[in-house]
Amino acid sequence: MFVADCLQVNQEGHLCVEQRDVLELAAKYGTPLYVMSETQIRKNCRLYQDSLKRFYDGNGLALYASKAFCCKEICRIASDEEMGLDVVSGGELYTAVSAGFPSERIYFHGNNKTASELVAALEYGVGTIVVDNLEELEMLDRLAAAKNICQEIMLRVKPGVDAHTHNFIRTGQIDSKFGFALETGEAMAAVKKAVSCPHIILTGLHCHIGSQIFDTEPFLLTARIMVGFLAQIRKQVGCELRKLNLGGGFGIQYTPDQDPPAYEAYMKRVSTVIHETCSLLDFPTPFILMEPGRSIVGPAGITLYTVGAVKEIPGVRTYVSVDGGMTDNPRYALYQSEYQIMNAGLATQEKTMRVTLAGHCCESGDLIGENLPVQHLEKGDIVAVLSTGAYNYSMASHYNRMPNPPVIMVKADQDRVIVRRETWEDLVRMDV
Ligand SMILES: *Cc1c(COP(=O)(O)O)cnc(C)c1O
């Protein structure tokens, strides 16, 4: 019935996150409200760590891609679960460091890191910088030299696999702003350049083929291509790179009809592919890194809203307006993402209505979804949007000067604020 184990229904028929009735949470903290399950997040982290142990002799590390949901507490949880961490900006890096995340387990991504971001990364002792382009490589070598540091890096490679097509394709991904293309020789040139930089230590290669991917074939093909490239580098450059970062992108279930593959099954297959390719090419099995973001936090979060105006336009549609919208969840406005919704007080009842869930911004495109099946809904009801743990809070904006909702973390029957609610006063804090 539900898209995540952390969602339950109690005897009153109310939706619960773990053992907390969400109607009580809405009453306690107000709406809109993000609610997350700590148990689910930890379980998802362990799924990655455990499958690396089971199927790859533990010769790898799962990094939590913090852009999916970044705040200090999630960094603490990821650290406690012994995950590594991906950051893609100085702000995410600062958040992680502020939370005490061990900097040697941080991987710093981004296609246009600024000099000040790189300096911060060097000063914080970031373990690995994932270099995206030659300008960055040169700048980093210079900045590291000035600090008398030798910085470990990986190079971001475009393996030429586009996972976002129905029948994924192998070429045509040269058109991406991220990384060095393999097929043009750009990636090989970058490897040669990197090994010649005195203050750079090239440890391996990185790739990331997309997000919300259900098909495991593109991942397997990517692994094969990347191992092949490692062997080619040994032949042409004479160095044996030992680390391979396979990126994130594992899909999650947003609606009941979606059926993402089990992660363990994927890990088992990818492990086989790497071992086979390595033995074929007589290359040592690399240390692998995985970078799940969405699949760690997405299913662990929901958003609660209070229903306001209900407008039935006969023969057209019914608009149900809520007290949040594109400012706390821009994903429908950005890419028509699908969600499952429910009346949190009538969680076990049949879904008898079809509604367009609208936000309260001054923008017609401010919708959470259209034609969504839901139980009876009326003014004052609490509506829950499921699977909003990833790319919701982290993509929130202040359009129309809407303050951002707080994030509540639930563990068993306990709840706590991990990000407090913004106030109108917070909104004018930067204004001069
Ligand atoms: C976004 C991103 C991820 C995480 O992707 P998910 O789809 O959330 O798993 C991992 N690595 C890189 C480089 C990314 O840009």
d(CA 48, CA 263): 7
Look at residues 85, 19, 18, 88 and name the one whose alpha carbon lies nearest to residue 300.
18
Q: Relative to the CA of 212, which ligand 1 atom is closest?
A: 7
Q: Which residues pair with 342 in a beta bridge?
A: 384
Task: Kindly report whether the global pTM for this prediction surpasses the value 0.85.
Answer: yes
Planar angle of CA 60, 62, 65, nearest 5 degrees: 145
- Which amino acid is residue 209, in one-letter code? I
Which atom of ligand 1 is nearest to 213's Cα?
Answer: 7
Contact present, 207 and 246 (Cβ < 8 Å)? yes
> Which pLDDT does position 1 carry in this prediction?
58
Cα(88)–Cα(225) distance, integer angstroms: 25
Show which residues are catalytic: 362
Mutual angle of helices 186-196 and 134-146, in 10-degree steps? 10
The Å distance, Cα 409 to ligand 1 centre, comes to: 23
Q: How far is CA 211 from the centre of its chain?
A: 8
Pocket (CB within 6 angstroms of ligand 1): 65, 67-68, 86, 109, 208, 211, 247-250, 291-295
Residue among 86, 88, 156 whose CB has most ligand 1 atoms within 8 A, to mutate? 86
Token pair recorded at residue 351 = 């879904």
> Sign of the C-alpha dihedral, residues 80, 106, 254, 261?
negative
In terms of Cα–Cα distance, which of 353, 377, 357 is closest to 367?
Answer: 357
Distance CA 283, CA 244 (A): 13
Of 26, 33, 23, nearest in space to 422 by CA: 33
Could you write out the DSSP letters of every residue in 331-375? HHHHH-----EEETTSTTS---EEEEEE-SSS-TT-EEEEEEEES
* CA 426, chain centre distance (Å): 27
Residue 144's Cα: distance from chain center in Å?
A: 29
Calpha distance 170→218 (Å, rounded): 9
Q: pLDDT of the chain along its 432 residues, tens only? A: 577 899 999 999 999 999 999 999 999 999 999 999 999 999 999 999 999 999 999 999 999 999 999 999 999 999 999 999 999 999 999 999 999 999 999 999 999 999 999 999 999 999 999 999 999 999 999 999 999 999 999 999 999 887 776 556 665 467 788 899 998 999 999 999 999 999 999 999 999 998 899 889 999 999 999 999 999 999 999 999 999 999 999 999 999 899 888 889 999 999 999 999 999 999 999 999 999 999 999 999 999 999 999 999 999 999 999 999 999 999 999 989 999 999 999 999 999 999 999 999 999 999 999 999 999 999 999 999 999 999 999 999 999 999 999 999 999 999 999 999 999 999 999 999
Query: Cα dihedral angle (212, 216, 222, 223), rounded to 10 degrees?
Result: 120
Q: How far is the CA of 319 from the centre of ligand 1 (A)?
A: 34
Nearest residue (by CA) to ligand 1, atom 7, is 249
Counting from 1 in the atom list of ligand 1, the atom nearest the Cα of 247 is 11
Question: CA torsion sign, 236 to 238 to 240 to 244?
Answer: negative
Helix runs in 89-133, H state only: 90-98, 115-124
Distance 5 CA to ligand 1 centre (A): 23
Question: Residue 249, Cβ neighbours under 10 Å: how many?
Answer: 23
One-letter amino acid of 350: E
CB of 243 closer than 8 Å to CB of 286: yes
Instruction: Tell me the three state secondary structure of residue 149.
Output: coil
pLDDT at 172: 47
Please give the structure tokens belonging to residue 134: 């030659």
* Ligand 1 centroid distance, CA of 291 (Å): 6
Which ligand 1 atom sits nearest the alpha carbon of residue 68?
8
Supply φ then ψ for residue 52, to 5 degrees. Answer: -65, -40
Residue 70 Cα, ligand 1 centroid: separation in angstroms?
13
Q: How far apart are CA 338 and CA 14, in angstroms?
A: 23
3-state secondary structure of 214: coil
Specify the amino acid at residue 171. T
408 by Cβ neighbours in 10 Å (0-12 / 13-18 / 19+) ranks as buried
Q: Which of 119, 178, 130, 120 has its CA nearest to residue 152?
A: 130
* Cα dihedral 265, 271, 277, 279 in deg (nearest 10): -130
